[in-house]
Amino acid sequence: MNAVIGSLAALLYLLAGGGLTLRLARASGEASWPKGGPLTLGWGAVLLHAMILAQTVFQPAGLNLGFFNALSFTAWLINVMLLAAAMVRPVENLGIIILPFGAITVLLGLLFPTERIVADPGQWPLELHILIAILAYSLFSLAAAQALLLAVQDYRLRHRRPGGFLRGIPPLTVMESLLFQMIGAGFILLGITLISGLFFLHDLFAQHLLHKVVLSFMAWCVFGVLLWGRWRFGWRGRTAIRWTLSGFTFLALAYFGSKLVLELILQRY
């Protein structure tokens, strides 16, 4: 049954992403296809995805966040945040990247089940800490996708090619404003994660957390400098893009990079 539900969720993710791609490709200055259809498919996908996660992540033994489970849960949360934001803000084009990624993680989670119980039942403070951490990562993932789209938009404008799909996305100033809103919210959540994590540290080396803490703190500093540069010097454009992608790289290495090495390569749990 999980295979059927997961396959259907992946299909809906792909259809939703494909619908948004066609919508952007057919965009014109006068009219564009409504986004309601693809977003509805996306909501259907995350609902089915949630049914899978309810069995693979939230287990009687505790919170199972093995590598592919963690990847699937994070992708689900990123898509939920994207679809919710797209109802009130013009961020739906990020679904061209984010929604197919959700499809991939659903299938990977089913094909390669992994197990690592990170929180026993009743450890709600630790579960809350983990949830805030994944929320922060999800926001920065959306910011990274926004930065990539902004980079393409900036490149085409600089080379005087403003036509094509650029007519279907918001102006550059609006795109930058959305980017910094995501970064600001993610910066606060990551700060809360780093502070709250101090209560769960016993031995950085024994818990294999030193690299994760250092890289996460470096990412937090990078985003902090970017926000300060935006406020103090008005950083924007390619400067903002570079700093955003640099900070996200540190964060991705902190979480999934370390999990990949420890769990899949070194087999340490």
Amino acid at 157: L
Q: Are residues 101 and 131 in the same domain?
A: no
Sorted by sequence, the CB contacts under 8 Å of residue 128 that are 6+ apart come out as 196
Question: How many C-alpha atoms does 241 have within 13 Å on its Cβ side?
Answer: 15
Q: Are residues 98 and 178 in the same domain?
A: no
Strand 117-119 relative to strand 62-64, pairing: antiparallel
Q: Are residues 129 and 261 in the same domain?
A: yes
Q: Are residues 80 and 132 in the same domain?
A: no
Evaluate if residue 47 carries a pLDDT over 70: yes
Range of the domain at 247: 123-269
Percent of the chain with pLDDT over 70: 89
Evaluate if residue 233 carries a pLDDT over 50: yes
The whole-number average pLDDT for the span 93-102 is 94
Decide if 222 contacts 187 (C-beta within 8 A).
Answer: no
The whole-number average pLDDT for the span 43-50 is 97
Look at 62-76, 89-103, 252-266 and tell me which has the smallest mean pLDDT.
252-266
Evaluate if residue 48 carries a pLDDT over 80: yes
The whole-number average pLDDT for the span 233-241 is 92
Domain boundary among 95, 122, 149: 122
At residue 162 the predicted structure's pLDDT band, cuts being 50, 70 and 90, is low
Q: Are residues 10 and 134 in the same domain?
A: no
Decide if 49 contacts 9 (C-beta within 8 A).
Answer: yes
Q: Are residues 24 and 71 in the same domain?
A: yes
At residue 202 the predicted structure's pLDDT band, cuts being 50, 70 and 90, is low
Q: Are residues 151 and 267 in the same domain?
A: yes
Q: How many domains, the chain?
A: 2
CA gap 152, 168 in Å, rounded: 13
The whole-number average pLDDT for the span 148-172 is 77
User: Hey, what long-range contacts does 211-218 have (CB within 8 A, 24 or more apart)?
Assistant: 211/254, 211/258, 212/254, 212/255, 212/258, 213/254, 214/254, 215/250, 215/251, 215/253, 215/254, 215/257, 215/258, 216/190, 216/250, 216/251, 216/254, 216/255, 218/250
Q: Are residues 14 and 142 in the same domain?
A: no
Look at 1-5, 71-75, 249-253, 258-262 and tell me which has the smallest mean pLDDT.
258-262
> 107: how many CB neighbours lie within 10 A of its CB?
18
Which pLDDT does position 206 carry in this prediction? 45
CA gap 14, 8 in Å, rounded: 10
Q: Are residues 114 and 192 in the same domain?
A: no
At residue 255 the predicted structure's pLDDT band, cuts being 50, 70 and 90, is confident
pLDDT in tens, 117-152: 777 777 778 888 889 999 999 999 999 999 999 998
Which pLDDT does position 205 carry in this prediction? 46
Evaluate if residue 203 carries a pLDDT over 60: no
Domain boundary among 58, 89, 122: 122
Q: Are residues 187 and 204 in the same domain?
A: yes
Q: Are residues 137 and 116 in the same domain?
A: no
Evaluate if residue 200 carries a pLDDT over 80: no
Domain boundary among 122, 153, 179: 122
Which pLDDT does position 189 carry in this prediction? 96
At residue 25 the predicted structure's pLDDT band, cuts being 50, 70 and 90, is confident
Which pLDDT does position 35 carry in this prediction? 86
Which pLDDT does position 161 carry in this prediction? 67
Evaluate if residue 90 carries a pLDDT over 70: yes
Evaluate if residue 116 carries a pLDDT over 50: yes
Does this model's pTM top 0.85? My answer is yes
Q: Are residues 140 and 228 in the same domain?
A: yes
Q: Please classify residue 233 by burial: count the beta carbons closer than 10 Å to its beta carbon, then call 0-12 exposed, 13-18 middle and 19+ buried.
A: exposed
CA gap 180, 58 in Å, rounded: 33
Indicate the average pLDDT of the chain. 87
CA gap 208, 188 in Å, rounded: 25
CA gap 158, 175 in Å, rounded: 16
CA gap 123, 36 in Å, rounded: 39
